[in-house]
Chain A
Amino acid sequence: MLCFKVMRNFSLWSSVPLGQLDSMSGVVAQYEADDFPQKVNLGVNTYRDNNGNPVVLESVTKALQMVREKKLDNEYPPIEGLQSFIEAAIKVGYGESYYAKNNKNIAGCQVLSGTGAVRLGFEFLNKFVPSGTKVFVPNPTKNIHPIIAKMAGLQSQEYRYFDPITKQVDFSGLSEDLYSAPNGSIVLLHACSHNPTGCDLELYQWKQILDLTKQKQILPFFDMTYQGFTSGDLEKDAQAIRLFTEAGVPIILGQSFDKNMGLSGQRTGCLSLVCSNEKEKLIVVSQLNLIARSLWSCPPVHGARIVETVLNNPELFKLWLCELRVMAQRMKKMRVSFTKALKDIGSPHDWSYISKQFGMYSLTGIGPAQIKELIEKYHIYLLNNGGISIAGLNESNIKYVAQAFHEVTKHNFI
């Protein structure tokens, strides 16, 4: 009988270095471990109500009830996911009238939220665009965008987006950088609620980017994680999508229902590509399936069944719109109140940019030393890049946070 032991002091994994992740994960862990009663989490990445609690939407609860009553089985969905979900997601993403005319040309695939959309989308593009085509991403953007591009085999490059001095979009920088990009480049654009800055483009700026897109044969890849969650209005938040698609520009769209339906734990998203005709759409879907099969075989259905129910049931859809408005309006209110509180305290800095922005995030320019002081002295947790999540603010903590911000920044220019 064979009897032996493998050498125990040999390590297969000895050359594996410690992996560095993005700014989010460490903050959450620290906050959780803190037992200071007035602690504030401004790194929270999902919505909180005015009591600082996560919210389960009523429309979602009702939809889940309806899904459960159907007593569906647990069989494998198709590789591309639930068709009814894909159709509903495309409809809300592209708008009813565009959908009515063009839905046969839109290749859609259910994915694992926004990350899954970017991963599948980039892998697809790497396979089919001319080799050497770069992805241009805004500076700054979600940490994972350039990392996923690399994993998918695409080179990425930044275009100027955020001016840290004015705390607004550096539009001339953006235009220059996109204008000097090679023709046929892929450009990643945040449709609304730019993460991490909170700075979104105005309609006239989108129009100029549209012109640039046509001139340079750019392939626009929209990351739309916050539709409805930004302004409370689904159409307004998707205005860039409407503009580009109505102009006949074929776009790529990644959608997520994590935030706008509070379904973050279920990972529900959709990747879609506008094709020239139905035949092409079927071909593109077949190729997306080939890639998805080796990533996850098929997506999880729980969240998709819920989303599809909300979007297709008129009563639930109406209820959801109300709930979206409540969330968006609360965040807007916090922005305005926070700016006012800082002004009332007598801060020497101009914080008005915060009230002009929409959605979850703002990039404050607060530096590492000040971030450290905010944590250690005031138990207020920001993201490592100085970003704040507006959802972490509420009527009970806003004055405390404003006071703390004032204390750490009154002598420092930011």
Chain B
Amino acid sequence: MQKLQLLQNQYNPTSDDIFYHIVQAPPDPIFGIANAYKADTSSTKIDLGVGAYRTDEEKPYVFEIIKKLEKEIVNDPTLNKEYLPIEGLADFNKGCQKLMFGQNSPLIASGQIVTAQCLGGTGALRVGFEFVKRHIPGDVYVSKPTWSNHNQVIERAGLNQFEYPYFEPKTKGFNCAGTIECLSQARMGSIVLLHVCAHNPTGVDPTEAEWLQIADVCKKRRLVPFFDCAYQGFASGCIEKDVFAVRKFAELGFQMIVAQSFSKNMGLYNERVGAIHIVTSNKDISARVLSNLKIVIRTICSNPPAIGARIAAKILTDEKNFNAWVEELKTVTGRIIKMRTLLKQELDNLQVPGNWDHITRQTGFFTFTGLTPEQCDLLTKQYHVYLLRSGRMSMAGITSKNVRYLAESIKAVVQKK
């Protein structure tokens, strides 16, 4: 009633009517930190917030192979600059399938994988969950904790969500028994959101044996695996090993959904390069699934942006480019692993109270430090170290120059009474 009253008065030029009742939305937990860091004028500030790679000089990094290929594409007069098909660039999609499922996966040849280009990882997740809502609606189980945007995407897609106890704070490891227990109580046909590798925010991944246990409970409860793969290459440093879970589940005959992002592993953050894969039981069903996936995509963006996918396709479908990319990726992931080692050394040298083994045990971009929200606030306010209040630290923001200051700051907040 009040809203209607406000609307009726809307053309009074002195009133704040139509949007009067709208309240400020909270800043995004991750982008908000990035903004706060940008605004900070301290010379010792460290950005460990958003998961974006930095060099040892604290600079953003554009892959050399990306620069080379972008130049080729821009200077190619034969390239069609027009709309891509709704499902995106065919070469890109094929390349994504091979990277995810393996060059010689029989599922590719049999037409059981439906693939569409999406707007980064977020775009793939949203398309996937919208598809789920429309065609196989059910409860979604997400890890506790998970990437903050997962909860928002699932909610906006209109699905209910529950948590499975993923992270064990005592061991700072994967809570396998708790996860299996929880999933075995899930309603049949529920969807389980699983991080393929380099779990965000914890950096803790199941072992191969633990993945088989997860597969077992998914089979028993007819749960639909929905894999989120944003860090292929960043966990073990080996791109094949990192997607063990997806390939294993595929081998075991699961029908499932996979969201794939190239934001981090190709450094294509701002061109929104991703893909969704839906694994079906035969190619006739694949055709029906694709036609419906296209409807979901059509109503979000009509068709995806071209440049990022063209660059990625050139990497994924050309052996020379692919090898160059893999080498460069190893350098990038190698630096992150080195920073983990350095930070642990510094913390040990400074005899910072607590067990910091998890820093080198966890994998990928992030470490779940175990710092409390209050300690994180203090780290930020007093020491200008920016991280998430959950204690998640992006290791890519650590450098050989700032690692000692970081360790000293951590020591200070841990020791503070």
Contacts and interface: CB of A to CB of B under 8 A. Distances in A.
Interface in B99-158: 119-123, 126, 130, 135-136, 149, 152-153, 155-156
B376 to A, nearest CB: 21
Given A144-B298, A301-B270, A15 B122 contact: no
A303 interface: yes
A77 interface: yes
A302 B301 CA distance: 16
Given A2-B212, A74-B62, A219-B18, A267 B304 contact: yes
Chain A CB within 10 Å, residue with most, of B83, B123, B282: B83
A18 interface: yes
Contacts of B159: none
B334 interface: no
A143 to B, nearest CB: 9
Interface string A365-403: 000000000000000000000000000000000000000
Contact of A267 (B31, B61, B301): B301
B415 interface: no
Interface of A: 1-2, 4-22, 25, 45-46, 54, 56, 64, 68, 73-79, 112-116, 119, 123, 128-130, 144, 147-148, 151, 183-184, 214, 217, 219, 248-250, 258, 262-267, 273, 275-277, 280, 282-284, 286-287, 289-291, 293-303
Contacts of B22: 128, 280, 283-284, 287
A214 B224 contact: no
A296 B119 contact: yes
A112 B153 contact: no
B133 to A, nearest CB: 10
A235 to B, nearest CB: 24
* Nearest 8 pairs of A and B residues by beta carbon: A112-B301, A19-B291, A265-B306, A297-B122, A6-B253, A286-B25, A115-B302, A19-B292
Contact of A282 (B3, B24, B253, B302): B24
Contacts of A282: 24
B304 to A, nearest CB: 7
A277 to B, nearest CB: 7
Interface centre among A15, A130, A147, A214 (most CB of B within 10 A): A130
A291 B156 contact: yes
Nearest to A151: B299
B140 to A, nearest CB: 14
Majority SS at the chain A contact face: loop
A76 B268 CA distance: 9
Contacts of B285: 11, 13-14, 16
Nearest to A56: B81
Given A10-B281, A265-B306, A287-B25, 10 more contacts: A8-B281, A12-B255, A16-B292, A22-B298, A46-B83, A74-B267, A74-B268, A295-B300, A297-B122, A303-B305
Q: Chain B contact residues (Cβ within 8 angstroms of A): what range?
A: 35 or more
B388 interface: no
A236 B338 CA distance: 60
Contact of B74 (A54, A68, A273): A68
Contact of A290 (B25, B84, B268, B292): B25
Nearest to A123: B156
B17 interface: yes
Nearest to A274: B18
A54 B80 contact: yes
Interface in B47-97: 50, 52, 60-62, 66, 74, 80-86
- With most chain B CB atoms within 10 A of its CB, the pick from A21, A123, A276, A277 is A276
A365 B156 CA distance: 40
A263 B52 CA distance: 28
Given A45-B83, A115-B300, A300 B308 contact: yes
A248 B11 CA distance: 7
Nearest to A5: B253
